[in-house]
Amino acid sequence: MDSLDAAELPRKAASRTGVRKWRMPALEPVLLAIALVALPFVTNDFVAYQIALFLIYGIATQGVALCWGRLGFLPLGHALFFGLGAYLAGGALKAAQQQPGWWLALPLALLLPAGLAFIVARLVFARSHRSGPFFSLITLAMTMLGFLAAQQWSAVTGGFNGMADIPEFPGTDRYGTYYWVVAACAVGSTTLLGIALRRPLGLLWSAVAQNEDRLQLFGYATDRIKAFAFACSALLAAGAGALFAMHQGIVTPLTMGFVLSTEFVIWAAVGGKASPLGALLGAVFVGYASSELRDHFAYWEVGVGVIFIAVVRFLPEGLAGLGRRLNLGRFDTSPVTTTPAPPVASQARDIGLAFEEVEVSQGGVRILGGLSFSLEGPGLRCVIGPNGAGKTSAFNVMTGRLPLRAGRIVLDGADVSGASAWRVARRGVGRKLQIPSVFPELSVSQNLDIALWAGRLGLLASMTRAPLGWTSALRNELLDLFPALREQLDQRAGSLSQGHRQALEFVMTVLPQPRLVLLDEPCAGLSPAETHHMIEAIKTVVGKLGAAALVIEHDISAVAAIGGDVYVLHQGRLLTQGTLAQIQADPAVRAVYAGARK
Ligand SMILES: Nc1ncnc2c1ncn2[C@@H]1O[C@H](COP(=O)(O)OP(=O)(O)OP(=O)(O)O)[C@@H](O)[C@H]1O
The confidence score (pLDDT) of residue 125 equals 85
470-471 and 548-552 strand pairing: unpaired
Dihedral angle, C-alpha 557, 559, 561, 566, nearest 10 °: -140
Helix (H) / strand (E) containing 569: strand 566-570
Query: Is the minimum distance from the CB of 595 to ligand 1 under 6 angstroms?
Result: no
Q: 223 C-alpha to center of ligand 1: Å?
A: 27
Q: Is the pLDDT of residue 264 over 80?
A: yes
In this structure, which residue's CA is closest to atom 2 in ligand 1? 362
Q: How far apart are CA 127 and CA 124, in angstroms?
A: 6
Q: How far apart are CA 39 and CA 304, in angstroms?
A: 23
Ligand 1 atom nearest 402 alpha carbon: 1
The confidence score (pLDDT) of residue 554 equals 87
Average pLDDT over residues 24-48: 86
pLDDT in tens, 287-319: 888 888 877 887 877 877 887 788 778 887 777
Report all structural domains of the chain as residue ranges with CATH numbers, in order of start. 26-329 (no CATH), 352-440+497-592 (3.40.50.300)
Residue 312 neighbours by CB under 8 Å, 6+ apart: 269, 270
The confidence score (pLDDT) of residue 584 equals 87
Query: Is the minimum distance from the CB of 403 to ligand 1 under 6 angstroms?
Result: no
The confidence score (pLDDT) of residue 335 equals 59
Q: How far apart are CA 593 and CA 36, in angstroms?
A: 72
What is the number of residues in the chain? Answer: 598
Segment of 20-24, 182-186, 265-269, 286-290 carrying the highest mean pLDDT: 182-186
Segment of 96-100, 290-294, 460-464 carrying the highest mean pLDDT: 460-464
Ligand 1 atom nearest 393 alpha carbon: 18
Q: How far apart are CA 80 and CA 255, in angstroms?
A: 8
Q: How far apart are CA 368 and CA 387, in angstroms?
A: 13
* Long-range contacts of the stretch 245-248 (C-beta < 8 A, 24+): 245/85, 245/86, 245/87, 245/89, 245/90, 245/93, 245/163, 245/166, 246/89, 246/93, 246/166, 246/167, 246/168, 246/169, 246/174, 246/178, 247/52, 247/53, 247/56, 247/174, 247/178, 247/182, 248/53, 248/166
Query: Is the minimum distance from the CB of 391 to ligand 1 under 6 angstroms?
Result: yes
Q: Is the pLDDT of residue 51 over 90?
A: yes
Better-predicted residue by pLDDT, 580 or 133? 580
Of residues 240, 210, 242, 238, the one with CA closest to residue 225: 210
Q: Is the ipTM of this complex over 0.90?
A: yes
The confidence score (pLDDT) of residue 507 equals 96
In this structure, which residue's CA is closest to atom 25 in ligand 1? 387
Query: Is the minimum distance from the CB of 365 to ligand 1 under 6 angstroms?
Result: yes
Q: 554 C-alpha to center of ligand 1: Å?
A: 15
C-beta of residue 228 within 8 angstroms of C-beta of residue 67: no
Query: Is the minimum distance from the CB of 435 to ligand 1 under 6 angstroms?
Result: no
Query: Is the minimum distance from the CB of 575 to ligand 1 under 6 angstroms?
Result: no
Ligand 1 atom nearest 363 alpha carbon: 4
Average pLDDT, the chain: 86
In this structure, which residue's CA is closest to atom 19 in ligand 1? 388
Q: 363 C-alpha to center of ligand 1: Å?
A: 12
Average pLDDT over residues 499-505: 93
pLDDT in tens, 165-224: 898 888 888 888 999 999 999 999 999 998 898 889 999 999 999 999 999 999 999 999
Q: 279 C-alpha to center of ligand 1: Å?
A: 43
pLDDT in tens, 518-559: 999 998 888 899 999 999 999 999 999 999 999 999 888 999
- DSSP assignment of 492-555, as one string? BGGGS-HHHHHHHHHHHHHTT--SEEEEESTTTT--HHHHHHHHHHHHHHHHHHT-EEEEE--B
In this structure, which residue's CA is closest to atom 5 in ligand 1? 362
The confidence score (pLDDT) of residue 100 equals 81
pLDDT above 90: percentage of residues in the chain: 54
Burial class (CB in 10 A: 0-12, 13-18, 19+), 98: exposed
Confidence of residue 24 (pLDDT cuts 50, 70, 90): very low
Q: Which of 358, 393, 432 to mutate to test the pocket of ligand 1 (most atoms within 8 A of CB)?
A: 393
Better-predicted residue by pLDDT, 37 or 288? 37
The confidence score (pLDDT) of residue 409 equals 94
Q: 168 C-alpha to center of ligand 1: Å?
A: 64
Rounded to the nearest angstrom, the gap between the alpha carbon of residue 489 and the centroid of all alpha carbons in its chain is 21
DSSP state of 330: -
pLDDT in tens, 550-567: 999 988 899 999 988 999
Q: 178 C-alpha to center of ligand 1: Å?
A: 63
pLDDT in tens, 334-383: 457 788 888 877 565 678 999 999 999 988 888 999 999 999 999 999 99
Q: What separation in angstroms does the CA of 329 have from each of 23, 284, 324, 336?
A: 10, 20, 9, 19
Q: Is the pLDDT of residue 330 over 50?
A: no
Least confident of 158-172, 225-239, 475-489, 502-516: 158-172
Q: What separation in angstroms does the CA of 53 have from each of 283, 428, 493?
A: 10, 51, 42
The confidence score (pLDDT) of residue 474 equals 92
Q: 391 C-alpha to center of ligand 1: Å?
A: 8
Query: Is the minimum distance from the CB of 367 to ligand 1 under 6 angstroms?
Result: yes
Q: Is the pLDDT of residue 247 over 90?
A: yes
Please give the model's pTM, rounded to 2 decimal places.
Answer: 0.87
The confidence score (pLDDT) of residue 442 equals 92
In this structure, which residue's CA is closest to atom 26 in ligand 1? 387
Q: Which of 355, 361, 365, 435 to mutate to test the pocket of ligand 1 (most atoms within 8 A of CB)?
A: 365
Dihedral angle, C-alpha 329, 333, 339, 341, nearest 10 °: 10
